[in-house]
């Protein structure tokens, strides 16, 4: 019988955030696959757990996944952990899960700390609907292209960022998204935990020498892409508005209904207009 693959969340700073279940699993598995074995060894030593470790990081995920699958197929139970937080969230984990599914191996997530979830729930921004983006590219053009892509997103946006890139990222955000409200969730679960709230431009002035780990929560756009498109459509002549829907394959009756809805007017008025043309 194959072993089980456990995805074990570990603390993001405060070691007291490890769960009883995570400790139990780490004690009982045959092997722990860790993003950085030295880092995880520190965690295991703290909780007096002694276990064989194997390295499993982004660059060797594919090769190592095959080795882990062989061991799982041979009946070993394996825990995957990353340096901090939940494996698979901007951390290695996704690849082994895919291959494990292909091999009919049971996957067991062990819940625990995750930086973005805690940043979001304490941010004061809408947590009803949100988009997790994670790390933006270090390449300026790619970074801006991604920001352009989400510019009209009305959901709360969530980003991870490395400390030394925080300023550059906020500058790109200011340029593309405008001076939005943001929250910097800094050093979560650690001694210097804080939430810095304000507009991007004000925060940029405040963070000259700031250090630590950050999650950036950005307020969604109050104007959606649909609103902008609708504004553009309504500025067109009625003929061009008609052509816009005609090109999408709608028939006359549907087009008149759509134009009336867009312009918040009676469909008979639109019908009469085109009748007299
Ligand atoms: N897997 C992790 C999780 O579940 O959140 C995320 C790992 S990702 C490589 C590291 C990024 O997460 C950091 O650059 C930072 O943006 C965020 N992060 C991790 N720990 C944090 C903390 N204690 N406070 C604020 N942000 C943190």
Identify the residue whose C-alpha is closest to ligand 1 atom 8.
Answer: 90
Q: Are residues 78 and 124 in the same domain?
A: no
> How much is the pLDDT for 225?
76
Per-residue pLDDT of the chain (277 residues; tens, 9 = 90+): 899 999 999 999 999 999 999 999 999 999 999 999 999 999 999 999 999 999 999 889 889 999 999 999 999 999 999 999 999 999 999 999 999 999 999 999 999 999 999 999 999 999 999 999 999 999 999 999 999 999 999 999 999 999 999 999 999 999 999 999 999 999 999 999 999 999 999 999 999 888 999 999 999 998 877 777 787 888 888 888 888 888 888 888 888 988 888 888 888 888 888 876 6
Give the per-residue pLDDT at 258.
86
Other C-beta atoms lying within 10 Å of the C-beta of residue 268: 11
Q: Based on the fold, state whether residues 143 and 201 are members of the same structural domain.
A: yes
Model pLDDT, residue 277: 66
- Tell which residue, 236, 242, 244, 248, has the closest CA to residue 273: 242
pTM for the structure as a whole = 0.86
Yes or no: say if 49 and 32 are a contact pair by the CB < 8 Å rule: no
Whole-number pLDDT of residue 245: 83
Q: Which residues pair with 196 in a beta bridge?
A: 184
Q: How far is ligand 1, taken at its centre, from the CA of residue 159, in Å?
A: 10
Taking the centre of ligand 1 as the mean of its atom positions, its distance from the CA of residue 67, in whole angstroms, is 28
Give CA–CA dist 262/230, Å, rounded: 7
H helices of the chain, in order, are 20-28, 37-46, 61-73, 94-102, 115-123, 140-150, 166-177, 200-206, 225-235, 238-246, 252-262, 267-275
> Which tokens hold the place of 25?
């699993």
Residues forming beta bridges with residue 54, ordered by sequence position: 33
Ligand 1 centroid – CA 77 distance (Å): 27
Clarify whether residues 100 and 127 are in a common domain: no
Domain total of the chain: 3
Q: Running DSSP on this structure, what letter comes out for residue 136?
A: P
- Cβ of 85 below 6 Å from ligand 1: yes
Which among 61, 158, 160, 161 is the best mutation to test ligand 1's pocket, defined by most ligand atoms within 8 Å of the CB? 160
CA angle 4, 49, 47 (to 5 degrees): 115
Instruction: Name all contacts of 269-277 with Cβ < 8 Å and 24+ positions apart.
Output: 270/238, 273/238, 274/238, 274/242
35 lines ligand 1 (CB under 6 A): no
pLDDT, position 3: 98
- Residue 106 and residue 158 share a domain: no
Note whether 76 and 13 are same-domain residues.
yes
Q: Do residues 127 and 209 share a domain?
A: yes
In the numeric block, the tokens 């109050």 are attached to 222
Judgement on whether residues 236 and 172 belong to the same structural domain of the protein: no
> Do residues 94 and 46 share a domain?
yes
Atom of ligand 1 nearest to the CA of 13: 23
Supply the range of the domain harboring residue 142: 116-218
Q: In angstroms, what is the span from residue 262 Cα to ligand 1's centroid?
A: 44
Q: Are residues 109 and 194 in the same domain?
A: no
Atom of ligand 1 nearest to the CA of 162: 14
The residue to which tokens 């001694």 are assigned = 191
Q: Which CATH number does the domain housing residue 107 bear?
A: 3.40.1010.10
């Amino acid at each position: 019988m194959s072993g089980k693959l456990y995805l074990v969340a570990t603390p993001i700073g405060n070691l007291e955030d490890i769960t009883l279940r995570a400790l139990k699993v780490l004690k009982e598995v045959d092997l722990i696959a860790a993003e950085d074995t030295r880092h995880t060894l520190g965690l295991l030593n703290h909780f007096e757990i002694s276990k064989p470790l194997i390295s499993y990081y982004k660059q060797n995920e594919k090769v190592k996944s095959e080795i882990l699958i062989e061991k799982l197929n041979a009946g070993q139970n394996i825990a995957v952990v990353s340096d901090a937080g939940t494996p698979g969230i901007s951390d290695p984990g996704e690849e082994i899960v895919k291959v494990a599914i292909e091999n009919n191996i049971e996957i067991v997530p062990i819940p625990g700390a995750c930086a973005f979830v805690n940043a979001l729930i304490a941010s004061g921004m809408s947590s009803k609907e949100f988009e997790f983006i994670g790390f933006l590219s270090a390449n300026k053009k790619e970074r801006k292209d991604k920001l352009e892509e989400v510019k009209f997103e009305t959901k709360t946006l969530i980003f991870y960022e490395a400390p030394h890139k925080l300023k550059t990222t906020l500058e790109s955000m200011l340029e593309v998204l405008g001076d939005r409200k943001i929250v910097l969730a800094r050093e979560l679960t650690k001694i210097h935990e804080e939430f810095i709230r304000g507009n991007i431009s004000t925060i940029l002035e405040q963070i000259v020498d700031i250090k630590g780990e950050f999650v950036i929560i950005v307020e969604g756009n109050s104007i959606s892409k649909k609103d902008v498109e609708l504004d553009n459509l309504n500025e067109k002549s009625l003929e061009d508005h008609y052509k816009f829907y005609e090109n999408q394959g709608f028939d006359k009756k549907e087009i008149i209904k759509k134009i009336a809805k867009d312009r918040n007017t009676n469909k008979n008025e639109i019908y009469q207009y085109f009748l007299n043309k």
